[in-house]
Amino acid sequence: MNMTELKPANRVLMGPGPSDINPRVLQAMSKPVIGHLDPDFLTIMDEIKSGVQATFRTENDLSFVVSAPGSAGMETCLVNLIEPGDEVLICIHGVFGGRMADIAERAGAKVHKVEAPWGEPIDPQQVKMALEDMQPKLVAIVHAETSTGVLQPLDEISAMVHAAGALLVVDAVTSYCGEDLDVDGWKIDAIYSGTQKCLSAPPGLSPVSFSPKAVAALEQRKTKVQSWFLDLSMVKNYWAGAKRAYHHTAPVSSMYALHEAYRIVLEEGLENRIARHRRNHQELRAQLESLGFEFLVAEQYRLPMLNAVYVPPGLDEGDVRKRLLLEHNIEVGGGLGKFAGKIWRIGLMGESCTSNHIGMLTHALRKLI
């Protein structure tokens, strides 16, 4: 069997992820591979942990990176905190809230749900009412719903969750490193993200952080964690302590890339990066509206890095997206679930969040529609 040489197209990535990657990050991946217990690599892990803490704005000691994509970060948070029979409340306003509910059910939880129409945030009063009728172990919610472009306010819900004696679990896959996120200030107990969106590292890793309260819940478990690979009672010994007990072979080259991506984020500064995403979102909004696109989400709840827009009437969205890719080399995302064929999801994430990207996209659209 003859395998062809890899020659992937050099696309302009403006979908829901991954985003474009800085050449410095790609270059970091080409550095020599060393062992996952090599002293040099352990130093890199320490610096990555500091990057996780800085970007999540937390002092949580159990802050690390799962050696798998964001969906594994979701599972890590849920299966470590849920034991069979636990009551949990899952907030669903898109695809990924539904995925959390599925994982919780597989872990043996008694799942209660609060739902909002797709394109709208969760109403805190619904959460309050649901909490009054249960004894919750945790409440899980998506901060930035990738399927709809909704930014979910968390302050009020966080206060309700903790007043009920529960843990707050947050999905920040799309908002991480592109929108305000304050783990300690918002009292988030477990949070996960991915590396391929506003962080602009290759896909395949998941930054995660657990509060001391969440760690205590883990240590007080009466049953084994459902997943061996994601069991933090073992994984944490690889990321902390003097001995660094072997757990699995870390993806060394991907960790190099993540290390460099964190350096780039911290050089720019989180506040500056957030401001850049918001500023470019407004520029894109004006351009899209002038072309007849309408936003799915009310202005105060829109994600700046994931722009969900209705396709103008009469436009064959699948054909135009295909032509954008094949004729102009630009990738944008289609809708998921009930919005399939109705909306586009246009990403302005990390390295893809520039005026140049906006100009390339809108210039191409003016030719195609």
| Tens-digit pLDDT profile for residues 13-34 | 999 999 999 999 999 999 999 9
Q: How confident is the model at residue 243 (pLDDT cuts 50, 70, 90)?
A: confident
Q: What is the pLDDT of residues 41-71, one digit of tens each?
A: 999 999 999 999 999 999 999 999 999 999 9
| Among 284, 332, 334, 293, residue whose Cα is nearest residue 312 | 293
Residue identified by tokens 């289609």 is: 334
**Does the N-terminal peptide bond of residue 124 adopt cis geometry, omega within 30 degrees of 0?**
no
Residues 80-122: pLDDT tens digits?
999 999 999 999 999 999 999 999 999 999 999 999 999 999 9
d(CA 46, CA 177): 19
Sketch out the chain's domains with CATH numbers.
12-17+270-368 (3.90.1150.10), 23-265 (3.40.640.10)
Contact 347, 333 (CB under 8 A): yes
Looking at the whole model, is its pTM more than 0.95? yes
Residue 221 region by backbone torsions, left for phi larger than 0, else alpha for psi between -120 and 50, else beta = beta
pLDDT, one tens digit per residue, over 262-291 is: 999 999 999 999 999 999 999 999 999 999
pLDDT of residue 1: 87
Neighbour count for residue 158 (Cβ, 10 Å): 20
Has residue 241 got a pLDDT over 90?
Answer: no
Exposed, middle or buried: residue 163 (CB in 10 Å: 0-12, 13-18, 19+)? exposed
Q: What is the mean pLDDT of the chain?
A: 96
